[in-house]
Amino acid sequence: MNKMRFLPLILATLLPVTAAVAQATLDRGLRLNTDGSIRIYALAGSVRIVGWNRDSVAVRGTMGKGNSFHMGGGKTGMKMFVESVNDRDPTPANLEVSVPLKSKLWVKTATADIDVSGVTGSLDLYVVSGTIRVAGKPADVNAEAIDGDIRIIGSPTWVRAKSASGVVSLKGASADVSLSTVSGGIIVDGGRFERAKFETVTGNINFAGSFERGGLVNFDTHSGTIQLRVPSAVSGDFDVVSIAGGISNKLTSRKPIPGRYGRGAELVMTSNDGGARIAIRTFKGAVTLVRSN
């Protein structure tokens, strides 16, 4: 009887120990120049990176059972990675990494989300099915995903972002930007664009913004719809073609004409004094031009 009475107490004390063993806590640091290079590799979980005004890197977080963490390098460059016993079914690792503001970052994951904020250096980010989020004004962003979304908030100087089935979005502006997807959509809610290309296969393109005088901006999709919301005062030369779809122009009084192949529609017009060249092409999709004010 006494033994049976103590058994629940014994089990209650063992369970928290087992849970604690399954999670390893990280607290590591390393000196790095303010513009040093950092490579990070992790399969599952999350990688959150924040820029700070120090010449060092600090790593905190937790790792699931079976993972091991490796970190090393010098003041000009370093790397860190999470090694899993089973790469096909890795346990999650959640990393929080503080890096110098001007760091050059290379991050690659499988299903782990990547979140970068406050870094002004170059970013190279790759995921398979995780989500990439970037906030701030990095010098340049190169982001690639297969099934994941890519979300950029801020004004990087140079942007290249592409996904297969995820949504690619930019809330901000950039002097040189290219966003592309296959079946996902593109959403742009920003300022003024000078050189830009937005391209999908079946995904829709929704653009809200304006254009720099002398700029060149291209919108291209096979069967997705294209909607542009621009100010009534925008200055641009528009060349719009939909091979099998329609065109709705609510920006000016200019009416589209039937397509040259006996279907679809075309629209060539100048808004205000012109200046920027805006080319819009779609095969099956519809195109809508509307005023944002």
State the Cα angle at 95 between 41 and 15, rounded to 5°.
120
Render pLDDT for 138-152 as a digit per residue (tens, 0 to 9): 999 999 999 999 999
Determine the pLDDT at residue 293: 81
Query: Got the DSSP string for the chain?
Result: -HHHHHHHHHHHHHHHHHHHHHEEEEEEEEE--TT-EEEEEESSEEEEEEEESSSEEEEEEEEETTEEEEEEE-SSEEEEEEEES-TTSPPPEEEEEEEETT-EEEEEESS-EEEEES--SEEEEE-SSS-EEEEE--SEEEEEESSS-EEEEE--SEEEEEESSS-EEEEE--SEEEEEESSS-EEEEEEEEEEEEEE-SSS-EEEEEEEEEEEEEEEEESSS-EEEEE-TT--EEEEEEESSS-EEE-SSSPPPEE-TTSSSEEEEEEETT--EEEEEEESS--EEEEE--
Token code pair at residue 288: 């809508």
Determine the pLDDT at residue 76: 96
Token code pair at residue 36: 């040093």
Render pLDDT for 46-56 as a digit per residue (tens, 0 to 9): 999 999 999 99
Return the bridge partners of 31, or none: 56
Token code pair at residue 286: 């519809």
Identify whether the C-beta of residue 221 lies closer than 8 Å to the C-beta of residue 239. Answer: no
Identify whether the C-beta of residue 229 lies closer than 8 Å to the C-beta of residue 213. Answer: no
Which portions of the chain are predicted below pLDDT 50? 1-21
Render pLDDT for 248-275 as a digit per residue (tens, 0 to 9): 999 999 999 998 777 899 999 998 888 8
Q: Biggest alpha carbon distance in the chain?
A: 94
Q: Where are the domains of the chain?
A: 167-293
Determine the pLDDT at residue 116: 98
